[in-house]
Amino acid sequence: MPGSTASRLPYEGIRVIEFTHMVMGPTCGMLLADLGAEVIKVEPVGGDSTRRLLGSGAGFFPMFNRNKKSIVLDLKQPEGVEAALRLIDTADIVSENFKAGVMEKLGLGYERLKARNRRLIYVSHKGFLPGPYEHRTALDEVVQMMGGLAYMTGRPGDPLRAGTSVNDIMGGMFGAMGAMAALAQRQATGVGMQVQTSLFENNVFLVGQHMMQYAVTGRAPAPMPSRISAWAVYDVFTVQDGEQIFLAVVSDKQWEIFCRAFGLTEMLGDPRLGTNNDRVQARPWLMPQLRARLAGYRVGELAALFEREGLPFAPITRPEQLFDDPHLRATGALAPVTLADGRTSKVPLVPLALDGAQPPIRLQPPSIGEHTDELLRSIGYSDDEIAAFKARQITQGDKPS
């Protein structure tokens, strides 16, 4: 069962103003918010376009924008920029993921803001760190293709992006880590700094193990579906009724356990299979035999046997099936979330526990401009000024005025 929630989250009292959309920037703000920071999302009139995405983007907003407040400001109007500056003057961190140069054109670039507040931490999420590529338009798929990840994921001749926004999410994670490091540095020096994170360099970090594989072996790494595995049994097996399960045997001790559990005494005594490296070399003839021996089992039988013996295994699970995963349900790792149409669902919490509990959802994903009025009042605007802003579409509240 989950432990008790700590009375104070680590970043309580830290204020973050984010100018973000899509996944990378919002992930950074979500992590800081989950850890207690007050995160204020600045949205354009009409709201973040991520709210209206279809298909694979339909889950972006409810996933990456919990625990945040929403204020609407039209940054193309000087009054909107002035209100943003007043908000920033109250902040510890600014986070943005616009294209290079956009924040500077708006008058919200790092140099200007640093001159107003030397303690400010400014997190920029871009496609590329400064260099020859920095003005290119990047997407997760773009950097997966140019950064070797799609090559490694797909079959030979068929590059394939990973099945989730790995660079966007990890780029936001590194942005949050950079902000945390900058907060620690500021505590020592009293001065903030700029933090930069990027999709491309994140992707290169992900495939660094394969770069080093080439450096060590002198051989170009093969795509994962055709790689020479480091372990002999490390594969998906199709068994009774066409069901599939991933099974692994990654040590000599596990091989002994596996063979005894399945009555494979002749393989256990075969000198050609004595060590893991021997079994890797024997894969061309060993794997067909193992597949044939296991084909008559049901997935549930194999899972129960592998679990009993302490061997690695995994059912092949679809994302929608995770809502009913018994471990996630028992540990409270899925928390109630309210969708834009008022329906409720469950969303994964940040995957770490503090004193036995995962940081909770304190605020549901905000409606467009839900906190506009209270935030504008907090930085000195009168109700008449707020009403005038709404009339001129400089801002927008959750409810029409």
For the residues of 104-158, what is the DSSP string, one character each?
Answer: HHTT--HHHHHHH-TT-EEEEEESS-SSTTTTS---HHHHHHHTTHHHHHSBTTB
Backbone φ and ψ of 361, nearest 5°: -85, 120
**Domain map (residue ranges) of the chain:** 15-207+327-391, 229-318
Residue 214's pLDDT is: 96
Residue 186: the pLDDT is 98
Three-state SS for 160? coil
Confidence of residue 2 (pLDDT cuts 50, 70, 90): very low
Give the Cα separation of 348 and 63 in Å (integer): 8
Whether the predicted pLDDT of 1 surpasses 60: no
Instruction: Give the confidence band of 226 by pLDDT, cuts at 50, 70, 90.
Output: confident
Mean pLDDT across 240-264: 96
The amino acid occupying position 372 is T
Lowest mean pLDDT among 146-155, 220-229, 304-313: 220-229
8 Å CB contact between 313 and 248: yes
> What is the predicted pLDDT for the residue at 321?
97
List the single range of 32-41, 46-55, 82-91, 200-209 with lowest mean pLDDT: 46-55
Chain centroid, CA 319 distance in Å: 15
pLDDT(206) > 60:
yes
Q: What is the mean pLDDT of residues 1-26?
A: 83
Q: pLDDT (tens digit, 9 = 90+) per residue, 25-62?
A: 999 999 999 999 999 999 999 999 999 999 999 999 99
Return the pLDDT at 401: 43
pLDDT at residue 259 above 80?
A: yes
pLDDT score, position 169: 98
Asked whether the predicted pLDDT for residue 220 surpasses 90, the reply is yes
The whole-number pLDDT of residue 224 equals: 87
Q: Looking at residues 87-109, what average pLDDT do you find?
A: 96
What's the mean per-residue pLDDT of the chain? 94
Confidence band for 276, pLDDT divided at 50, 70 and 90: very high
Do 15-207+327-391 and 229-318 come out as alike in CATH topology? no
Banded model confidence at residue 399, pLDDT cuts 50, 70, 90: low
Handedness of CA 88, 364, 367, 125 (dihedral sign): positive
Judged against a pLDDT cut of 80, whether residue 3 lies above it is answered with: no
Percentage with pLDDT > 90 across the chain:
94
- Is the domain covering 15-207+327-391 a CATH 3.30.70.1070 domain? no
Q: What are phi and psi of 387, to 5 degrees?
A: -65, -40
Number of C-beta neighbours around residue 23 at 10 A: 24
* Residue carrying structure tokens 């692994």: 248
**pLDDT band at residue 179 using 50, 70 and 90 as cut-offs:** very high
Please give the pLDDT value at position 227: 77
Q: What is the pLDDT of residues 324-374, one digit of tens each?
A: 999 999 999 999 999 999 999 999 999 999 999 999 999 999 999 999 999
Q: Residue 129's pLDDT is what?
A: 96
| Confidence category of residue 398, pLDDT binned at 50, 70, 90 | confident
* CATH code at 229-318: 3.30.1540.10
